[in-house]
Amino acid sequence: MSTPEKEVLVFSNKFHHHSYGPSHPLKVERLRLTMDLIGEYGIFDTSSPPWVEAREAGEQDVTLIHSPEYLEILKTANSGRAPSQAWKYGLGSGDNPLFPGLYDWSLLVTGATLECIRQILNENREIAFNIAGGLHHAMQSRASGFCYLNDPAIGIAKMVQDGLRVVYLDVDVHHGDGVEAAFYNTDRVLTVSLHQHGHTLFPGTGFPDDIGQGPGRGYAVNVPLAPGTDDDLYIWVFMELVPPLVHAFDPDILVTQLGVDTLATDPLASLNLTTNGFSRIVREIKSWGLKWVALGGGGYNVMNVARAWTKAWAIMKGVEIPDTLPRDFVSKHRTELGQNLTLSDRPYKINGAIADSARQMASSVVTKIKETVFPLLGA
């Protein structure tokens, strides 16, 4: 019998039974595109089946973060019809539509994240990746930002309950507000979020002065970045702050939210990264050698998602793949791909004044965090 691979994907074809609706920015089909591209490159697990099947989370797990009252509302909303006072729970807005199976979807995404954790802790895996996960905005009793259940927070809460120390690193373009809120008062979890500045983007939070409170003071780190921030500037900020903080905290396990709505061609935000910059971040994270639960996140240009997360999976597996997209994938998806037939992107040029403003903000934020947070963590 072959030895299990050290890296594993957790997935389910049942994800595709669900849809936020034809006009909603979050397209569930991006998951299938990603898995198709991974398959075309031949970088699934060599054993059979090629991924570990996700199963729905149990209620005892989701109540670690979410209130029983809110869960009852989600159960009612699972029919696709509005429960009483749906608005009070963030449901039925353009961001958080009511659709048949929304609770089933959320339990399955959360269950996939919990399975990633089980694979790491019980099956001796080094890296487990749930591309459907990373729904980081949901609050204790409220849906927010396309998220109904907060799968990263639920998974982390379960690990904290088991006595583990966790770093949560969020590189989505939006502030990881729901996860931060869940652990704002504890020193068992270090939350680090790099995101577009809250004055310019949803959810309007995540400023450098927000560093946790009580026992958690210094254990929340927020790195807001200006519109126009490009690969080189982002990576400079990342390297100045994140490795020293992670190494100072010395976690038992790392959880990352790898949203790719930071890319320049994403329709919902204004950072200026490419798949090349994203890949450099993933390589750096892997180099730390930590037990690693990787989650998906945002990404609203579906081909950006497929290309970036395929590249991320190749890096996690330690395999080199051609930059040119496989011929069969291109012929199947020529319309969506347009001219972009490689995994890598050309850097995008921006106005000099915008670049100067982005550099000034980045420098200011790095200095502030080094002055306020580093001494608290001994970084």
Of 2, 41, 12, nearest in space to 311 by CA: 41
Q: Active-site residue 175, yes or no?
A: yes
Which residue do the tokens 């994800």 mark? 15
Catalytic residue, from 137, 175, 195, 197: name it: 175
Task: Report the largest interatomic distance among the alpha carbons of the chain, rounded to a whole angstrom.
Answer: 60
In the numeric block, the tokens 């995994």 are attached to 343
Q: Which two tokens stand for residue 169?
A: 């690193």
Tokens of residue 337, six digits: 């791909």
Residues 312, 170: Cα–Cα separation, whole Å = 15
DSSP code, position 303: H
The two beta strands, 189-196 and 166-170, are: parallel
The DSSP symbol for 126 reads S
* Residue 377: both structure tokens together: 């963590």
**Do residues 2 and 47 lie in contact, with contact meaning Cβ atoms separated by under 8 Å?**
yes
Pairing of strands 52-53, 189-196: unpaired
Active site members = 175
